[in-house]
Amino acid sequence: MANLKIYNRVIDAGCLLLNTLNLCRQRARNKYCFLMTYVLFLSTCSYAQDIHFSQYTGSILNVNPAFTGLFDGDYRVNGIYRSQWSSVPVPYRTISIAADGRFKTKKMKSDCFGLGILFNNDKAGDTYYNTNQFYLSGSYIHKVNKDSTLLWTSGLTAGISNSAFNYNRMTFDDQYQSYSYSASNSTGENFAKNATTFGDFSIGTALQYAIKQRAFVQYGISYHHLTSPTLTFQNNTSIRLDSKLNNYISFQYPIAPKIDIVAELLYSHQGKYNEIVPGTQFRFLLNQKSNQSASIGLYYRTSDAVIARVGYQIKTLTAGISYDVNTSKFNAATSHKGAIEFYVTYIFKKVLPFSPKTRVCPIYM
């Protein structure tokens, strides 16, 4: 039986299990990726990677804090669910829930500020490696010109992140005696902790320009994990979470009376890794009065997956579903089965009370 002895840094290597699997699902290189995950689990831990979504606009506060409050309405709630690699022994499940709104003080004539709240949960692997993140975000939205066609916004996110694993689901070499395993046998290991928590901060800025009705362009750049926080289970300060740079651009334009084209690109750089996700959607207007539309699109995560997306909108409710078809060499384990995602967003708009221009005396009515 192969020697599976876990060294003193096993818990720090536990975070590498999550990191390597994240790398495999984003930029899998060969059919041995899945095997190498467990090999690397026995090695020194490297730098962590973030959770991600194929429908990144369905979780826009994770992309850039400057998008807090940048929407047509007063309040917005959003939820997205992702299930990945259900065909392999270590599936991922990621959930994100967010809410934000736009506010202004009495002294604000045209500008406003946004406030938001964000919660992420990611679970993976046989040891239930679990990440919980709780953030507060704020932004300042400035109207550059009088007709509001050009908006400039800057934002900040601050919060805490917690990572943990289930020690009871792990097995060790010392528990195998006379070629027989028993959970009651001593592991021979001394673990400092099975959870770690750290503070986390991000900043971002964005521009939005309205060309004409149904036509606009957006660009945002953001910098996440400003302090490169330590992510360790054995007080090893060399285990850190790399800072991440996000670039996002979106362009929408009508190509027919009832058809719009939407082109998007998300480029992320974290440590020595890059993620590029370009894509195009076609939006079909079904009923302009009720703001009802349907969309279909195709995206591509380079060297990893083709992403098919469909969406539906009615009034201020938007929903979408996507499926990743694995194109990397990791499909030896997944049989091209990648991930499925669902998201829903609802925007609340205040109804202004009716105020007649002239008042009529009830006696003469």
Span 31-80, pLDDT tens digits: 333 333 333 333 333 344 688 899 999 999 999 999 999 999 999 999 99
User: What fold, for 10-349?
Assistant: Porin (2.40.160)
Residue environment code for 20-56, b if the CB has 16+ CB neighbours within 10 A, otherwise e = bbbbbbbbbeeeebbeebeebbeeebbbbbbbbbbbb
* In the chain, domain spans: 10-349
pTM of the entire structure? 0.81
Predicted local distance difference test score (pLDDT) of residue 111: 94
Predicted local distance difference test score (pLDDT) of residue 335: 60
Predicted local distance difference test score (pLDDT) of residue 353: 57
Span 155-213, pLDDT tens digits: 999 999 999 988 777 778 888 887 788 877 887 777 678 899 999 999 999 999 999 99
Residues 6+ apart with CB under 8 A from 244: 50, 223, 224, 225, 268, 269, 270
Predicted local distance difference test score (pLDDT) of residue 2: 30
Q: How confident is the model at residue 328 (pLDDT cuts 50, 70, 90)?
A: confident
Lookup: tokens for 34: 């899945």
Span 109-132, pLDDT tens digits: 889 999 999 999 999 877 788 999
Mean pLDDT of the chain: 82
